[in-house]
Amino acid sequence: MKKWFAVIGDPIAQSKSPEMHNTWYEQDGLDAAYVPIQVKAEDLEKAVNSFKLLGVSGFNITIPHKTTIIPFLDEIDETAKHMGAVNTVVRLQNGNLKGYNTDGDGFVRSLEEKIGQEHRHQPLLIIGAGGAARGIAYALKKSGYEDITVTNRTISKAEDIIDALGSGKVITSDEVSKSLGQYKILIQATPAGMQYGGEVSLPFSIEQMSKGVIAADIVYNPLMTPFLRHAKAIGGTVVTGVGMFVHQGAIAYEHWLGHYPKTEFMIERITKQLNEA
């Protein structure tokens, strides 16, 4: 019997998830399909109920539904519960829908493919406090990163992440502008990078970025966001969002189908496509 999967978000047209997952199904010889569905915030509950009725095998969630979807699911795993964010849903044998968070682990796998594990003791700043940032913060701590700071326009959301972690610091945008150079690792975890060209649309100046910085952005399209372009221009190491995107999808794939797909090939393929765009 054919399995079907989906990704929901608003917007969704830019997502490369359908291409990625459908390629993996083809490589693995599976009778399956993966489709993008735009879902407005006010229609989220109806969409989840429709998936259950129509027998979806699993689906991914992207901006802006990662936290608001939780009340509409039957179960969520401990990581998703701890961080209050879901990006992957699995249909269980009893028909229930269970939520997971693969963003964080996908990000850490991508980061450490590029920089190894020797930087886990370095001061690290997460910019943003949405669903992806929450998952990333939790996965970083779980992986042994010791010195985590979070900043966000709405400071209370950053405080919520640190409270959930049980350790770390929160700083305001004004404080970031003055102290940016002290952070060895910067993680841009907001949708700001989706803006093509122009200036970095963050609420603080990035001029004080350290020349030896490791800068990562969760946005993968465009490949080189304004944030990453600045880091590269001053000699920093950049980690694009492609690796996180591929690995979070691969972990979701493993939840649904029981094995890990070919990620190295997919990272190279998507990076090439975005470079040629």
Q: In the annotation, is 16 catalytic?
A: no
* C-alpha–C-alpha distance, residues 188 and 215, integer Å: 8
| Torsion sign over Cα 174, 179, 180, 185 | negative
End-to-end CA distance of the chain: 37
Q: CA 164 to CA 268: how far, in whole Å?
A: 35
Active-site hit among 16, 46, 66, 114: 66
> What are the residues whose beta carbons fall under 8 Å from the beta carbon of 46, sequence distance 6 or more?
none
Q: Which amino acid is at 234?
A: I
Q: Where are the alpha helices (DSSP H) in the chain?
A: 17-27, 44-54, 78-83, 103-115, 131-142, 155-165, 173-179, 226-233, 242-257, 263-276
DSSP for 101-161 reads --HHHHHHHHHHHHH-STTTTS-EEEE--SHHHHHHHHHHHHTT---EEEE-SSHHHHHHH
**Residue numbers annotated as active site:** 66
